[in-house]
Amino acid sequence: MSSMRNAVQRRNHKERSQPTQREKWGILEKHKDYSLRAKDYNEKKKRLKILREKAAERNPDEFSYGMLSSKTDKHGRKIQGRGNNSLSQDAAKLLKTQDAGYIRTVIQQTRSIREKMEQKYLLVNSGSVKVFRDEGRAKAGHHLLFADNREEQASLNLAQVRQDLRSSAEDSLEQRRSGDDTENDPKLPSLVRKDPHQLTLSNEEVLRPLKQEGAVRKPRQRGNQTQRSKLSALKARERDLRAAEQQLDYQRARMSNSIGGVNKAGVKWKFRERKR
């Protein structure tokens, strides 16, 4: 019978929510909330009663040797340590030496990865090919000019040559954009003319190779941007590791009294070896 009673669906008895006109007082407290609050209140009340009894029965002349090593704050509360044993100076210096060795190893690994990436990937910027070097320096590519003899080499005007190269590049780019150079472009299909002013191919067929070239160029640009971000992250990591290595070397030197510093009074001092 109990199984049949449990099989019958029963009504879910729900506690009412906070009325709308009393929403400013917050969530309506339920019976389970009141039970938890009352239980916590009674436990604290018992704890305070025990502490009052201990304070009333305390012996002012009580003494134990543990009081010599214990400390209290300005409010009379006992300050207890966490149980961590302090290391000796030699052990601390040894640990810092091991840390410095590990940091040097990580710096070498990071530097080798960065150098490999710099040698492998060329990033195109402002029309000139640049290779990432140390400290962000970049080296632009060179354009070689050949002459038949020394007289022709001496008569070359480099400024004029640069201007001619720049103008020819701009002209070719403008012709490609306007579509005037579609017949001479090897990437475009050959065009058969019915008459001097009409082409047999439609604009979509002419522009399809250009779209394909753009579809290949965009992933290449995204890949270059990704490699540039990775190189920047590697350089920042290497810089932080070097700063950590210098800080560890400074701490070890301070522990061995091989350099000076600033004492508690704010006076700078410098270590001097004893004269022999």
- Any residues with CB less than 8 A from the CB of 96 and at least 6 apart, and which? 248, 251, 252, 255
Global pTM? 0.40
Whether pLDDT at 273 is above 70: no
Mean per-residue pLDDT for 46-59?
94
| pLDDT band, very low/low/confident/very high, at 272 (cuts 50, 70, 90) | low
The per-residue pLDDT for 74 is 87
Helices (runs of H) and strands (runs of E) counted in the chain: 7, 9
Q: Give all strands (DSSP E) within 95-141, no chain letters.
A: 123-125, 128-132, 138-140
| pLDDT band, very low/low/confident/very high, at 176 (cuts 50, 70, 90) | low
- Between CA 190 and CA 182 the distance in angstroms is 8
The per-residue pLDDT for 13 is 80
| pLDDT band, very low/low/confident/very high, at 182 (cuts 50, 70, 90) | very low
The per-residue pLDDT for 40 is 97
- 83-134 per-position pLDDT tens digit: 777 778 888 888 888 888 999 999 999 999 988 888 876 544 434 444 444 4
Whether pLDDT at 217 is above 80: no
